[in-house]
Amino acid sequence: YAADLYSYLDWAARSGLDPLAVTHRSFRRYLAELDQAGYTRRTVGRRLSAVRSFYKHLNAEGACQVNPAAAAATPKAGRSLPRRTAASDVERLLGQFDGLDDPVELRDAAFLELLYACGARISEADGTAVADIDFEEGSVRLFGKGSKERIVPLHDQALQRLRRYIERGRPALLRGHASSALFISTRGNDMSAASLRAVFKKRAAQAGLDPSLHPHDMRHSFATDLLEGGADLRSVQEMLGHASLSTTQVYTHLSLERMRDTLKQAHPRS
């Protein structure tokens, strides 16, 4: 909190105020200036907390009788929009496996395709068994939070990559070991969530993507792309396994942001 406190003391000095004599009214002006300067609610809340603690300390030491920050309400942090992966980046990530037939390549292609094809969480992909892939129905069974089960349809390309991996890549990786898990390590063991995250990071780097890209960003892209393609919110909620529709609604805001950008670029009066 040191930087936040120094920022406040600097403001007081520039405003010609004695920090020991700042009134509640003056402090409200300080908060208003932070808001006008474009600081996020999280930053304003953090600075408020630092100043409040500063005055509490002064009160305890007897150096000051008031706490101008005591009555100020801490701003509620707004829900941040999820980050999506650009369609071109998804194509680069998945396209790097085209024509490759090595068991590890087949596995990683199937894993990444699954993330984007059904919006699976990394923990759900980790918990998927071979028996959870239904090629006849064209779907995957996922077990989400609280072991809640859901069935999500898969498109043909995802099914093709999964079939190639299961039939040609997975047996080679098993090395005679017995396992029901879908994703198998090079040692023939079930892959952990940490191992799958490492696969994602490695393949994203090979595709030249942003190093901060996370597997969960594929889930965000899945949801946003569906909504932009005309899918109804309730169906997306069911496919994501969200207990509340309000959790899914955050993706409508992200979709709206893209539409707003399009409007600015294309509308003659924007």
Q: Is 242 a catalytic residue?
A: yes
Distance CA 270, CA 265 (A): 7
Q: Is 57 a catalytic residue?
A: no
Residue 214, C-beta contacts closer than 8 angstroms, at least 6 positions apart: 200
Out of 84, 161, 219, 220, which one is annotated catalytic? 219
Q: Is 145 a catalytic residue?
A: yes
Strands (E) located in the chain: 133-134, 139-143, 149-153
Out of 57, 145, 148, 234, which one is annotated catalytic? 145
Query: Which of 191, 207, 225, 6 is closest to 104 using CA atoms?
Result: 191
Out of 121, 161, 170, 203, which one is annotated catalytic? 121
Helix pair angle (87-95, 215-228), 10° resolution: 120
Q: Is 269 a catalytic residue?
A: no
Q: Is 168 a catalytic residue?
A: no
Out of 8, 30, 116, 251, which one is annotated catalytic? 251
Contact of 123 with 193, CB cutoff 8 Å: yes
Q: Is 267 a catalytic residue?
A: no
* Residue 139, φ and ψ in degrees, nearest 5: -150, 170
Distance CA 15, CA 12 (A): 5
Distance CA 134, CA 87 (A): 27
Enumerate the active-site residues: 121, 145, 216, 219, 242, 251
